[in-house]
Amino acid sequence: MAAYHLAICEDDAAERAHLQALCSELLSARRIDHTLTPFASADELAQALEQDEGRFDLLLLDIQMDGMNGMELARKVYDGHVPARILFITGCADYAVEGYSVHPVHYLLKPVEPKALDEALYRDWQAYHQASTILFRTGGKTVSLPVADIHFMESLNRVVVVHLTGEDQSFPITLLDAEQLAPPGLFARCHNSYLINLDWVKVAGRTEVLLRDGTRLPVGRRFYRSFHSALVRRVNR
């Protein structure tokens, strides 16, 4: 299983070192292979994300920092094309309501209780990292595609086209087959021809879905209720 990649963004050096040590202790106790990359500012982390110097599963963000603050970076992540998740760790409770507008995994106040952090990390790892890839078979071989890179799947001319970050790939299966291969709760049909990765949804309306990469897909009348219910469950997981 691939390692669980975390970025810790905290401008206080002592607090940053404490969080890094605590996360390492908690994840090691659960025998979860992981990497921890510290950042002293949101600007530094934003630059790394823009340059794709490392793909992170989870960003542990302080909110109040000099320069770009954690909330500004969280909005860039949420509105952009970086499929990373956010865990706010901050000494300020005033941002709690605003913080949830970017759908963080959790919002923990300093001083962080180890038990609360352990539960937040393990819940995130269970929900996402255990099902980090989907295996497709084609031409007698197995192709492994990272779930986070799959924007949506499309039924087209008797094959399923997997639309990815990068080059799209096609497989001789039905969309129902693809749906059964996908991790439960992460993908949902918006239309008879489209299966969407819910983490890539930016705006969902009654007749159309806008993805974070700018793609617009139709919402079929008979899929409207089930799709929106799945999206709400995903957002409020």
Pair 119, 209 in one domain: no
- For residue 126, the model assigns a pLDDT of 75
Pair 111, 45 in one domain: yes
Pair 29, 111 in one domain: yes
Pair 47, 153 in one domain: no
- For residue 128, the model assigns a pLDDT of 67
Confidence of residue 98 (pLDDT cuts 50, 70, 90): low
Pair 141, 30 in one domain: no
Pair 104, 125 in one domain: yes
Pair 20, 115 in one domain: yes
191: tokens are: 């239309």
Query: Which among 130, 149, 168 is the end of a domain?
Result: 130
Alpha-carbon torsion angle 24, 28, 30, 34, nearest 10: 70
Pair 136, 72 in one domain: no
**Mean pLDDT across 207-226:** 95
- C-alpha span between 83 and 55 (Å, rounded): 9
Pair 101, 88 in one domain: yes
pTM of this structure: 0.56
Pair 9, 105 in one domain: yes
Question: pLDDT tens-digit profile of 16-67?
Answer: 999 999 999 999 998 888 999 999 998 898 888 877 645 788 999 988 877 7
Q: What are phi and psi of 214, to 5 degrees?
A: 95, -5
Pair 75, 113 in one domain: yes
Number of structural domains in the chain? 2
What CATH number has the domain bearing residue 125?
3.40.50.2300
Query: Which among 69, 100, 130 is the end of a domain?
Result: 130
Query: Which among 96, 130, 164 is the end of a domain?
Result: 130
The more confidently predicted of residues 18 and 148 is 18
**Mean pLDDT across 221-230:** 92
Lowest-pLDDT choice from 93-97, 120-124, 227-231: 93-97
Pair 33, 123 in one domain: yes
- Could you tell me if 171 and 162 are in contact, meaning their C-beta atoms sit under 8 angstroms apart? yes
- Could you tell me if 191 and 219 are in contact, meaning their C-beta atoms sit under 8 angstroms apart? yes
- For residue 159, the model assigns a pLDDT of 95
Range of the domain at 43: 4-130
- C-alpha span between 95 and 149 (Å, rounded): 30
The more confidently predicted of residues 127 and 146 is 146
